[in-house]
Amino acid sequence: MQRVVIENYAYYAALQTLDAKVSLIVKHFPPSVASLYALPKAGANNILEWWSPLGGQPILYANLDKPQQALLLQKYAQRQQSLQLLIDELEKRGQAEQASTLHSLLGEPDLNNLYSINQDPVLVRWGPPPPPAEPLAATPPPAPVVPPTVPPRRRRLWPLLLLPLLLALLLLAWLAYWWLNSTRVESYSCQPAGTTPPEFVTIFDTSGSMAINLQASPTDEQWLFDFGYDVPGGNARTRKILASPTRMETAKNALTNMVNNLHPDIDVRLISFAGCHYQPDHGLFNAKQRPALLERIRGLGPDEGTPLAASLAYAASKVDGRTKDAVIVMFVDGVDGCEGNVCAVAETIAREQPRLKVNVVNIGNDPSETCITALTGGRTYDSTNAQAISKVLAKATQEVSANAKCDAIF
C-alpha cells in the first residue's frame, strides 16, 4: 500500500462505507478492477489520506501526455464496464441493495482526482464530500451604505434569451464528444447484404493456471505456483485451489456458448497454448464444422506457459487486417508468462493491420495487458464470476455474433 494524497482536513465518518464497496468488487473481480478506487484512511492527527495497493509513482492526469491520458481513460472505461456487468448480475439475482451500492460508482471520472500508477487509473476523493468547515464567529454587520440615486435604464433582454441556446449548444457538443469517443461496436449481423464477413480468430488460454478454481485468491495461486503445481493431491489447500469450477471448465462453457451464437457466415480459427514455444493451431472451422470445433474445445486441457505475445503475433499472421476487417478475441487468465512483449506486438498490429481489432477477456487474478486493446481499438473485459463470464465473452464477440445488438456501445 502507498499513500497517494494527503488532505488538509480530518477523516470523517461518512467514508467508512467506502471499504465495503471495494470489498464487494474484490469478491467478484480481479484486483485490477478494485484498485481503481483509492481507500481513505486516518493518518497522523486524524488527517484524511487516500491509499492505493498499487506500487509506483502516482502521476496526476493533467501531468500526462495526450497518448497516456487517452490510455488511462480507456482503462477507466474498461473498469466501469466490468462494474456495470456486476451490477446487472446482482440485480438479476435479486440483490438490489448490493447493486445499488455499486451503482454510485458509475460515471465519468473527475480528472482533478484521477491519477496514473504504472499506467493504471486510480481515483481519489470518490466518496461523499467532507462536511462544511465550522463557521467563524459572527461579526457585527457594517453600517448600511445608502447608494446614490441612479436613474433607471432599460434592461437588455437578448443576453438572457441567448442563454438557453448557448446551454443547448454546449450540451450537443458534449454529446457529440461522448458519442465519438465511445467504443462503438459494428457487428457483421447489422451490415447490409453482400458485406464481406470479417475474419475471426479465438485464442484460448490453456496454460497451467487454468486448472485452478475460478475463485482462487492471488495468494493461493502464488502458493501453488511456488510448488510448480507439484504438491500432494491429498493436501487440503490443494484440493480447494483445484476444485470445480475451474477456470478451464468455466472458459470451455463460455466458449461453447460463443460458438453456438456465431453468425453462420463467420469462420473461426482456434489457437491454444502448449508451453512457451508452441501455439497449436487447431484450424479454421466454418458453420458446418462447428460440431467438430466444439469437440476440439471439449478435449483441451491445461498445459504450461502463457505465451500471449507469441500467440497474438501468430493469430495476426493468419488474417488480413489491411484490406479486410478481422477480429481476434483472446480468452486468457493473466499476463504473458513467456518473456514476450505483447505491447510491441499490438503496436505492430496497429501500424500494419489497421482493420484488425483485438478484444480481451481476462478471467484471472492478474490484469491482462490493456495496451492490446488500447492500441488496436478493441475492448477489455475482466471477470471471475462464473455466471457473468459467458455474458462477458458475448460482449467481446459482438462483431461476429448472430445475436448482436446493432450500434451497441460498450
Give me the mean pLDDT over the 255-260 stretch: 93
pLDDT at site 150: 54
**60: nearest Cα among 124, 103, 154:** 124
Does the pLDDT at position 176 exceed 60?
Answer: no
Segment 326-354 shows an average pLDDT of 90
The pLDDT of residue 180:
43
Backbone angles phi, psi at 409, to 5 degrees: -120, 130
Q: What is the pLDDT of residue 245?
A: 86
How many CB atoms sit inside 10 A of residue 175's CB? 10
Q: What is the mean pLDDT of the chain?
A: 82
- Nearest CA among 396, 400, 206, 201 for reference residue 315: 201
Q: Which of 258-267, 268-277, 377-386 has the highest mean pLDDT?
A: 258-267
Give the model's pLDDT for residue 196: 93
pLDDT in tens, 226-253: 765 555 556 788 888 888 888 999 899 9
Give the tens place of pLDDT for each residue, 60-78.
Answer: 999 999 888 988 888 888 8
Q: What is the pLDDT of residues 304-337, one digit of tens each?
A: 788 999 999 999 999 999 999 999 999 998 788 8
Rg of the chain over all Cα atoms, to the nearest angstrom:
26
pLDDT value at position 271? 95
Burial class of residue 397 in the structure, from the number of CB atoms within 10 Å of its CB (0-12 exposed, 13-18 middle, 19+ buried): buried
**Range 40-46 contact pairs with CB under 8 angstroms and sequence separation of 24 or more:** 40/11, 40/15, 40/127, 41/11, 42/10, 42/11, 43/3, 43/6, 43/11, 45/10, 46/10, 46/11
Q: How far apart are CA 39 and CA 207, in angstroms?
A: 34
Mean pLDDT for 281-295 is: 96
pLDDT at 313: 95
Determine how many CB atoms are found less than 10 A away from the CB of residue 153: 6
Structural domains in the chain, CATH included, are 2-123 (no CATH), 188-400 (3.40.50.410)
What is the model's pLDDT at position 197?
94
Question: What pLDDT does 43 receive?
Answer: 83
| Band of pLDDT at residue 183, cut at 50, 70 and 90 | very low
Please give the grid coordinates belonging to residue 292.
Answer: 467438430
372-401: average pLDDT:
84
Cell numbers for 409, please give them. 456501445
pLDDT at 375 over 70: yes
Give 170's pLDDT tier (boundaries 50, 70, 90): low
Alpha-carbon distance of 174 to 188, in angstroms, equals 29
Cβ(358)–Cβ(373) below 8 Å: yes
